[in-house]
Amino acid sequence: QPKSNMSTQKAVQISRTGGTEVLEINQIPIPKPQPGHILVKAAYAGVNFIDTYFRTGLYPAPLPFTLGSEGSGTVEAVGEGVTKYKPGEHVVYYGSGSYTEYLNVPEKAISHIPEGLKLEDGAAILIQGLTALTMLRESYEVKKGDTILIHAAAGGTGLVLVQLAKALGATVIATASSAEKLELARQHGADYLVNYSGGEDEWVKEVLGHTKDGEGVEAVYDGVGKATFEGDLKVTKRKGSLISFGNASGAVDPFRINRLGDKNLKLLRPRLFGYVATQEEFDHYTQELFGYIENNQLKVNIHKIYPLEDIVQAHKDLEGRVTTGKLVLKV
Ligand code: NDP
């Protein structure tokens, strides 16, 4: 049982979908530890673009719904059958409903925080780090010497993609909407910088100009979605891979698969949870991810830590394209 005497806790919830006006801070019961779960007292929650999709209804969720997808904190208690975790230990985890003070996390979605990693950095890195890593390993396996394109490269996922792609030996073309954002991508290892706010014709030409004989890139990593998808088809090399993994500008329009035949392209639409579905997969990729941090090949970039009460501002900033790196809530 939680040590505090209080039986309720704060949680950011929605009871209808919409703009930031639908965000509510409610009191909900503190849960009891469930079998196979770890009850965590949260310190921080990561803010991810996916949280805005649940808020707007782009991704449907049962209402009322507690937002948030990951966090870090301290083990408060463990459920039946859990032996690897003890009260007081620091942990990072992913799981629905992390914009709250206490939550139950299944054992296959939690890890001890590595020595030397701060709790706020733990909450900042798990989802975006695992997303970037699994896509670079499995959606298209990046090899030394490949040239790849990373869109929204100064964003949370983008900056991790850039750093890990460099660690794996790729040449990285990075896009973003401003010179400041591109400079940040450069500082994290990007080789070529393209401002895509000038429109598709322009960025497509620039990207192709950075590839061998103008033939295009081996792979495109695109979390922007609707606004960049058509251009992606143009800059992906024959037999290349187009990995469309998000909808920051809106969902990609329906697409005739025959069009892939023009260049025998591979089109993927991966979700992280399809790559880290089992305990083995989660442990494997989490350990690999933490290894890059320990080896100084991956830096965690926190844009800002917001108090939980400022959740409206956090969502506004993320959707308003004014952030770089990761947004974190102090719970
Ligand atoms: P980011 O920090 O990358 O923020 C989104 C960025 O997208 C903005 O900073 C902005 O950069 C760019 N962008 C382009 N067009 C728009 C637009 N119209 N409105 C808002 N932003 C726009 O967010 P995350 O790292 O949290 O997520 C990035 C993407 O990765 C999202 O699409 C998310 O859904 C996806 N994702 C997918 C996962 C999966 O499992 N498939 C898991 C994790 C994330 P700029 O100003 O430079 O254009």
Only one residue has tokens 């990593």, namely: 221
Q: Pick the residue whose CA is nearest to atom 9 on ligand 1.
A: 321
Compute CA distances 183 → 37, 130, 146, 186, 330, whole Å. Answer: 42, 24, 22, 5, 28
Cα(37)–Cα(14) distance, integer angstroms:
25
Tokens of 118: 């701060």
Could you tell me which residues come within 8 angstroms of residue 233 by beta carbon, excluding any fewer than 6 positions away? Answer: 242, 259, 262, 263, 265
Cα(180)–Cα(165) distance, integer angstroms:
21
Which pLDDT does position 143 carry in this prediction?
Answer: 97
Q: Pick the residue whose CA is nearest to atom 1 on ligand 1.
A: 155
Backbone φ, ψ for residue 36 (5° rounding): 75, 5
Tokens of 116: 């030397």
Cα(72)–Cα(239) distance, integer angstroms:
40
Please state the atom number of ligand 1 nearest to the C-alpha of residue 224: 14
What architecture is domain 8-127+274-330? Answer: Alpha-Beta Complex (3.90)
CATH class (in words) of the domain with range 144-269: alpha beta
Mean pLDDT of successive 10-residue stretches along the chain, which has 331 residues: 69 98 97 97 98 96 97 98 97 96 96 95 98 98 98 98 98 98 98 98 98 98 98 98 97 96 98 96 97 96 97 98 98 96
Compute CA distances 188 → 48, 167, 238, 267, whole Å. Answer: 20, 11, 28, 27
Which pLDDT does position 154 carry in this prediction?
Answer: 98
With a 6 Å cutoff on the Cβ, whether 129 touches ligand 1 is no
Tokens of 194: 């393209």
Please, are residues 43 and 101 in contact by the beta-carbon 8 Å criterion? Answer: no
With a 6 Å cutoff on the Cβ, whether 125 touches ligand 1 is no
Question: Which of 20, 48, 49, 56 should be mutated for ligand 1, with most atoms under 8 A from CB?
Answer: 49
Backbone φ, ψ for residue 270 (5° rounding): -80, 155
Q: What is the pLDDT of residues 220-275, one digit of tens each?
A: 999 999 999 999 999 999 999 999 999 999 999 999 999 999 999 999 999 999 99
With a 6 Å cutoff on the Cβ, whether 217 touches ligand 1 is no
Cα(31)–Cα(27) distance, integer angstroms:
12
Domain edges within the chain? 8-127+274-330, 144-269
Separation of CA 166 and ligand 1 centre (Å): 20
Which pLDDT does position 16 carry in this prediction?
Answer: 98
Separation of CA 82 and ligand 1 centre (Å): 35
Separation of CA 8 and ligand 1 centre (Å): 33
Which value does ipTM take for this structure?
0.99
With a 6 Å cutoff on the Cβ, whether 50 touches ligand 1 is yes
With a 6 Å cutoff on the Cβ, whether 48 touches ligand 1 is yes
